[in-house]
Chains A and B, each alone.
Chain A
Amino acid sequence: MIGFSRAYANGKVMLVTLLSSVCLLLPVASLAKDESTTPHWSFELKIGKFESALEDWDTYYDETPSLLKVGWSYKIFRPLEIGLSLGRMTTNGIGNLPIQGSIGGDVDFTLVPVNISLLYRFVFHENQLLVPYVGGGWTRVYYRQETGGGNKFEGSHDGHHIKSGIQILLDSFDKRSARNLQQKVGIKNTYLFLEAQSIEAKKSGIDLGGGSIFLGLLMEY
């Protein structure tokens, strides 16, 4: 697990994901689409596993708790977009008993990472089946710890994040539904995506960031 985190930190996973994405992209045939249908906004919902950058995390909490995120993006140009995303990770674990020099008690730990990202998507055609992307930006991680006795510890760390992933255009698989979505709801493209993300949010030597793998749904409108 520690190695996994380090791989994130080194950006190796990003590189591998990016290269894989490009390889997958190359053979994809494209179909022209009317420029007027180019979307400007996107909304995404994703769920994944969070692996903390803290070395002793496993001793106190669930090894890889779930992280749920929602995000909105505005497309400055077709491939370039700026986005805001909000996540939430809650886990329950144990704390330290300093007098007895042991671990114990009950601790609820919540992290709420807020990201502002700049994202580049390798999209060349509206009907492109696979769309790799890379991005990064500013992060603030809000935290809240609550111990069994009712003591609360709240605050935030600033940091940054990088992410990369690949989106699969679902419209290609069910064109009729895609057309209905566009006509009735205004959703122009729907993607299923897999994303790797790394956050670093360090203050006083404590990094509240970590790595995450997400599976999500993105809708462009």
Chain B
Amino acid sequence: MLIKIELAESSEEACNSMTSVYTHAFTLTLYLGMIYMVYIRSFFLSVALVMTFVSHCWAVSVPSDKYRTIQAAITALENNSILGDTINVARGEYSENLVLSGAATIVIVGDETAATFLDAKDRSKPILSISNASSNVTVRNFTFRTGNRGIVLINSSGVIIASNIFRLGNNGDAISSDAFTDANIINNTFYDNNRAVDQGGETTEITNNIFNNNNVAISPNTLTEAVSYNCFNDNNDNGVTGTQVIINRNPLFVNISLNDFHLKENSPCIDEGSGTDIIDSSTADMGAYGGDYADVFPFKVQNVAVSDVLANVGTPAISVTWSANESYRVTHTTSPGGYKLYYDSDQSGPPYKGEDASVGTLFSPIDVGSDVTSYTISGLTPPNIIPAAPTISNVIPSKSQTLDVYWGSVASATGYRLYYGVNDHNENQIDVGTVTNYSLSGLTNGVIYNIAVSALHQATYYLSVTAYGNTATSSLESGYSDERSLDMGSEKESVLSAILPGIPEAVVPFPLLPDEGCFIATAAFGYYDAPQVQLLRDFRDHYLLSHSPGRWFVKQYYIYGPKAARYIERHPEWKSAVRLVLLPLIAMAWVLFNVLWLAQVVVISGGIMFGVLYLRRKRRKLAASSHAREIFS
């Protein structure tokens, strides 16, 4: 027992460094010392157990800090045998082109067949290539999904490919093998592939698989003796079917569109394989969820929905509905599985420790049994918490027209509300979420704002549903469904914090240096901070410096502008004329910065139309006067 605990705790860490291994070995020695004292009374046996522990490590995990990709883990195991022989791949999607070349004794295992996806990063290469005298390689519990070739086997022996789903599409060949490879292809489901198994060798065994909706199931050059206990349905060409075969009978997958290839009750592939099922020791099913390597999880429960049914029930209650999981292990007629309902009002995500339902089964999870797809959790007592008032720690004018407000967090607050205004703090309210600081922008510089914060509490329930198989142990339970949440009762608000004043204002840099842009305008309008000059400066920054012709213009302006500015300074009589010339540009800049885009279009179009009409009128006048001159002459 003690040994088991220690092994479970260490896993990858112990395997990843010798130091760690020795540390664990030391700890284990202490345990074994105790065992020796109490039970074994054999020093040599204790030493033997320690040596066994140190010499045999067990697994690395992907993804982890050390092994972000499966290939990284493969390479590490190939180069360092002390890391062990197993790669545990967590649920997720992996886009790689895995290569095992000359590898010996490596097991690559996915956490859950239906939720551990392998895709080809480069479609021209196989998702997994096993070659160059690799031996004793096992690949199991994956869904091979995207790629032109799934697994390619070349000159390798002792390869086991088990409990996988291959769904590569019309152009994808699931497993290809050469004549020098011996492999066991056991309990896989091949659905919608070009060629499911293209086997060139004579020593590959193909057993307990389901071939459905493929172009070619097993290529014709496979020896019949090596093919047995397989199910073929709806393939264009079954190829070699072998012995103990089920042909042209629908295997009854639960939900193909969701990649749920569990079998429904009455599937012809149940208990028709060779060997036994690891789940219940019955005769093996065919397909990815039967046999020795099947993962034991029902498919995740789908379409969970929740609603507040206080009005119907009379007490706070939540109605939960979901779609049935039609796997025969859940719906079994004589020995069904069922569903478990998890809830919590404190936090999102597992472990869902709700315990306030007062009707029926109280604590989460609630085992709602089989053959149901809805349940009402009633008699709930949503937390009725009024949070304490927060304290504003700082109000900082971080930049022009902006105040940054900081406050301390409040226990049990699920959000905060910010109040601010000039005459009264109640003029504006913003619910800012769970943050403890907020930038109030768009304020008026130089004006005193009164600011306060309150804490909010909203009782929220978080719910999830799982399905479990008919041999109801915790290890046969599906993963959590997608979580649903529901607000219950009214939101509670704390009293306000103390009201603090804040004055937004433009930050003036140190040292106070002039912006030497807009030379001519500065000279013409007399001072640097003139609003017209600022408008032109903004126009430069927003509309000229954003593209290369504009930047070229600005560059030229910076070269020649100062000379013109100096001339205007020396000849003030020109200032009015320059202001007049700049006026249309300033007006346009004002429109661009202060008027909505539609109005901008209207104003600019109006200006252009006015210009065109003016020119046409002038042309007509000229034409009329020349015509008159012709008549009088």
Interface size counted on chain B using CB atoms at 8 A: 24
**A152: chain B residues within 8 A (beta carbon):** 515, 541
Given contacts A105-B398, A105-B399, contact A155 B514 (CB under 8 A): yes
* Chain B residue nearest to A100 in the complex (CB): B503
Cα-based distance from A155 to B510 in the complex (angstroms): 14
Interface CB pairs A-B, < 8 A, 17: A96-B510, A96-B512, A98-B505, A99-B445, A99-B446, A104-B396, A106-B507, A109-B509, A145-B509, A147-B506, A147-B507, A147-B508, A147-B509, A149-B399, A154-B515, A155-B515, A155-B516
Contacts of A59 in B (CB 8 A): 510
Given A60-B510, A95-B508, A109-B509; A153-B397 close (CB under 8 Å): no
Q: Pick from A98, A104, A150, A153: contact of B513, CB below 8 A.
A: A153
Please, how many angstroms separate the alpha-carbon atoms of A152 and B534 in the complex? 11
Check A104–B509 contact: CB distance below 8 A: no
B369-421 contacts to A (CB < 8 Å): 396-402
CA–CA, A147 to B541, complex, Å? 14
Is B511 close to A, CB under 8 A? yes
Given contacts A95-B510, A152-B541, A153-B515, contact A147 B400 (CB under 8 A): yes
Task: Given A150-B400, A151-B400, output 4 extra A-B contacts at Cβ < 8 Å.
Answer: A104-B397, A105-B397, A106-B398, A155-B516
Is chain B's interface secondary structure helix, strand, loop, or mixed overall?
A: loop
Please, how many angstroms separate the alpha-carbon atoms of A111 and B591 in the complex? 34
Q: A95-B509, A109-B509, A147-B509 are in contact. Are A153 and B398 (CB under 8 A)?
A: no
Bitwise, A43-74 to B at CB < 8 A (1) or not (0) is 00000000000101001110000000000000
Binding site for B on A (CB under 8 A): 54, 56, 59-61, 93-100, 104-107, 109, 143, 145-156, 206, 208
Which residues of the partner chain A approach B397 to less than 8 Å between Cβ atoms?
97, 100, 104-105
- Nearest B-chain residue to A54, judged by Cβ: B511
Question: Do A148 and B510 touch across chains, with their CB atoms under 8 A apart?
Answer: no
Which of B446, B505, B508 lies at the interface centre, i.e. has the most chain A CB atoms within 10 A of its CB?
A: B508
Q: Quick one: given A98-B508, A99-B505, A147-B506, are A154 and B398 in contact (CB under 8 Å)?
A: no
| Chain B 510-527 interface residues, beta-carbon cutoff 8 Å to A | 510-517
In angstroms, Cα B511 to Cα A59, docked, is 11
Contact of A206 among B446, B513, B516 (CB under 8 A): B513
Residues of B contacting A105 in the complex (Cβ-Cβ under 8 angstroms): 397-399, 507
- Chain A residues with CB under 8 Å of B505's CB are 97-100
Q: Chain A nearest CB: distance from B525 CB in Å? A: 18
| Complex partner residue of A104 from B507, B517, B541, CB under 8 angstroms | B507
Q: How far is the CA of A61 from the CA of B446 in the complex (A)?
A: 25
Q: Which residues on the B side are within 8 Å of A54 (C-beta)? A: 510-511
Let me know if B399 and A96 touch, CB within 8 A: no
A148 near B509 with CB under 8 A, answer no
Give the top 3 A-B pairs by smallest Cβ distance, nearest first.
Answer: A148-B399, A105-B507, A149-B400
The A-contacting residues of B in range 563-617, CB under 8 angstroms, are: none
Contact A106:B515 (CB < 8 A) given known A96-B507, A147-B509, A148-B507: no
Q: What residue of chain A has the Cβ atom nearest to residue B510's Cβ?
A: A60
Name the residue among B396, B397, B401 with the largest chain A CB count within 10 angstroms.
Answer: B397
User: Which of A143, A148, A149, A150 has its CB near the most chain B CB atoms (within 10 A)?
Assistant: A149
Give the contacting residue for B507; candidates A61, A97, A208; CB below 8 A. A97
Residues from chain A with Cβ under 8 Å of B512 in the complex: 96, 206
Chain B residues within 8 Å of A100, by CB: 397, 503, 505
Q: Report the nearest B residue to A148, measured CB to CB.
A: B399
Point out which of B396, B446, B513 has the most chain A C-beta atoms below 10 A from its C-beta: B513
Q: Are A149 and B402 in contact (CB under 8 A)?
A: yes
| Cβ–Cβ < 8 Å partners of A109 in chain B | 509
